Amino acid sequence: MKVIHLLATLLALLAAAAATRAANVTDYDSIVNLATNLTTDYTFTDLASGQEVIIAVTITPYSPTTSPSTFQALDDNTRVGVNNGNGFSNGEGANFSATLLAASSGIVPGSITFGITDLGIRPADGGGYLTWASSSSSETVNYSNGNDAIQTMDTTNFSLYGATYSAQVRFPSDALFQFTDVPTPGQSIALNATFTVTNYVDPRTNSWLTAYSSQYARIYTSDTTKASGSSVTTWSTGSTAQASPVYAGVQEIYSSSNWVYIRSSGLASHVMGPWYLNAAHTQAFPNYPTNEHVIYRIPRSPTNAVTKSRNNGGPIGYFVDGVAMFNSWDAYYYTNGVDTNNAANGGYWNRDAYVNEGVSFDANNAHQAGGQHHYHANPPALRYQLGDHVDYDSSTKTYPESTNTVLKHSPILGWAADGWPIYGPYGYSVSNDASSGVRRMISGYVLRNGQHGSQNLTNVGRAYLPQWAVRLYGVASNIMAGPAASTSFPVGRYMEDNDYLGDLGVTMGTNTFDLDEYNGRWCVTPEFPNKTYAYFVNVSSNGLPVFPYNIGRGYYGNPTGGAVTAITEQVNTNFIGGPNSIPALNSPKAAAGAVTLTWSATEGGTYMVQSTTNFSSWVTNSTTVSAVVTSAGYTNYPTDKYRFYRVARTALATYDSAGTGGYIVSGGTYNAPGGSVSRGTGTNITLSITLSTGGSNPGNLPPAGAPIISVTLGSLTAVYSTDTTQGNVQALFVIPASAATGTQNVVVTFGAPPGQSQPPTFTLTGGFTINQ
């Protein structure tokens, strides 16, 4: 029996891995509220990981002359004094203490710190000063007589590991001070906790569907081609065209402490289309999808928006397959007797996209405006790829909702611009209990047809906006005339034809509805076992989309994410795929004297297979192995007992490289020989290596087509490299804080081009410098 050893010589990409996360969370309270209750338990939740700590904070009045002392509410309960006076004076003040009560299992106990960072203070009579002393810091603040202010207290935090935090604020004898809520009601005391989360895998970097990034995007151009399964990788309608194949979906993922960036073609990895303008499928849709070459970012630590903002036309987030997420609006709104297009702002009666444009959607509820492929509603093909509760009918090329019992929570389908996840339709029955079973999440919206106490628009007409729209649009009154209900303007035509049950006196619960007016809820999920806010896709029991489909018309959080033209900060590389995917060799199969190799491949790629018995000389077994979509294979009949194999991609067919043909550079391009960079930034840098300048074999350049096996900079290995010309190599490096400083050797190792011997290794001695 032959023993076969497999040598993987190509570099592995940086992958998102379990790591630690430094959480920094601030909670706020009314100082009057704390002084009224004396002790309050505060929960500090890291929204990115769901991990949390609970800290008990106590405040007690202090007086050098009166014991015991009490707090006194002043000025209609907006301020606080002590005993029976009008504030604090003559050395009076307050004591604070804080004790750790509980922490999630994923938090390092010794990492938890606490501090009181801000406090509302009002000089009530005269100037003076106050003193603050705590377990972590102390200060003296001078005041002149003035207005209420939020005053900074702790500038550093105190470790709660086996210890209790304490602090005291005291006021002078020549002035009168008060605690106050007036500057920012409900936020007049700021409490800060920091802690470290272990084994943290961020779903915002790890939930993207990258398994298909090395395959071309495909469409069906008609019902006939769909029936026969004949898809194409290039297409044109006259108005939009994809002249060259383009790789599907998410091509690259990068992250910083604040952002996650994806680079995507915007085209799905399932076969898209066909699209028609009418139910009879006799009028073809005028547009086909095209490469969007988009860079989109989402916030890594989402924040709740006090004032909610509405989402308008265009992408409001991205699904994990790299396809744009649109809201439930089709960019038309009613005004002056007609529906008018205004994708920028809209009006007060906005057309429902699924109701009015659904006829133009393909089997995956997608179509494209101006070539931008997007989902308005439930994306069943994506859900099928992710293993959600969807089947595939190979005869009709459709994706029906499964009729089997739902057994598991839906996966993350995408991320909204505010950084909150959007899941498929199925969540835990009880929002905070992962053991409660799984069921379909019920939308909180109902058609305004008289049910549940809603107005019946057929009878009374469109004279009033629903309350959710009044809040979101910021109008003073709900009186807003729209078109009378008719066959031309049927009920359901507009988003505002739906009422939110919470406004009709119906309480959210297991037997009523599950989701708030933004189409989400606070809950535990498989990715966030300690809770998160999450949107859920809405479907009926048979899988048909239900309003508001993906998310409501308003964002729950602050929508700080969006498309960017470039990445301008230091980032980590989480994934590089598409044309830059590196083949991964599978375990070889040996049978009947034959060895069969298989590996992941890039569609359009041609591969070389080499073998050796001694690592001194390599035999080229084949130079013409072509990828079959995203896999490739080769069978060899060796005569020796031991043999090692390696593969390398030697060519790639022409493809649409706009936006997906290379990596994003955030740290700039540096030259070798002669360049330098500082260590410790974590930045991705591109090293442009001129082979003909110096080095171990100047003037003896590798032949054209020689595959690059590796590029090293001192002890660092390139994440990705490419031979841009015969004499110029570009390589992507991450420079960690632990990198050795000083001049470093740059070494480029080549493989043998087809039909030729392996060229020598190229070394630039002292070719690049890493600075302290």
User: Domain ranges in the chain?
Assistant: 5-14+587-652, 19-200, 669-771
Q: Does domain 669-771 have CATH number 2.60.40?
A: yes
Cβ proximity of 367 and 357 under 8 Å: yes
Amino acid present at 208: W
**Both tokens assigned to 74:** 């002043």
Phi, psi of 258 (to 5 degrees): -110, -20
Q: In a 3-state reduction of DSSP, which class is residue 98?
A: strand
Tell which residue, 11, 173, 184, 155, has the closest CA to residue 90: 173
Name the nearest CA neighbour of 108 among 21, 19, 197, 18. 197
Tell me what pLDDT residue 5 has. Answer: 30
pLDDT along the chain (772 residues), means of 10: 29 42 90 95 87 95 88 91 86 94 89 95 80 86 72 92 94 84 86 90 92 95 96 90 94 90 95 96 94 93 89 93 94 90 80 95 91 94 96 95 95 97 97 94 96 92 95 92 94 96 90 94 92 95 94 95 85 84 87 91 92 84 92 89 85 79 54 80 71 72 74 82 72 77 89 71 89 79
Token pair recorded at residue 290? 């095209």
User: In whole angstroms, what is the distance from residue 97 CA to residue 60 CA?
Assistant: 9
HSE-CB at 633 with a 13 A cutoff on CA atoms is 12
Q: Quick one: which of 431, 530, 680 has its CA closest to 197? A: 530
Q: What is the pLDDT of residue 204?
A: 94
Going by the DSSP 8-state scheme, the letter that residue 211 receives in this structure is T
Please tell me the predicted confidence (pLDDT) of residue 755.
Answer: 63
Separation of alpha carbons 58 and 37, rounded Å: 9
Using only the alpha carbons of the chain, give its radius of gyration: 32
Look at residue 661 in the predicted model and tell me its pLDDT: 41
Sort strands 644-652 and 5-6 into parallel, antiparallel or unpaired. parallel
Is residue 713 within 8 Å of 689, Cβ to Cβ? no
Strand partners, 725: 728
- Per the CB < 8 A criterion, the answer to whether 10 and 67 are in contact is no
Quickly list H helices, 156-264. 203-206, 223-228
pLDDT value of residue 393? 95
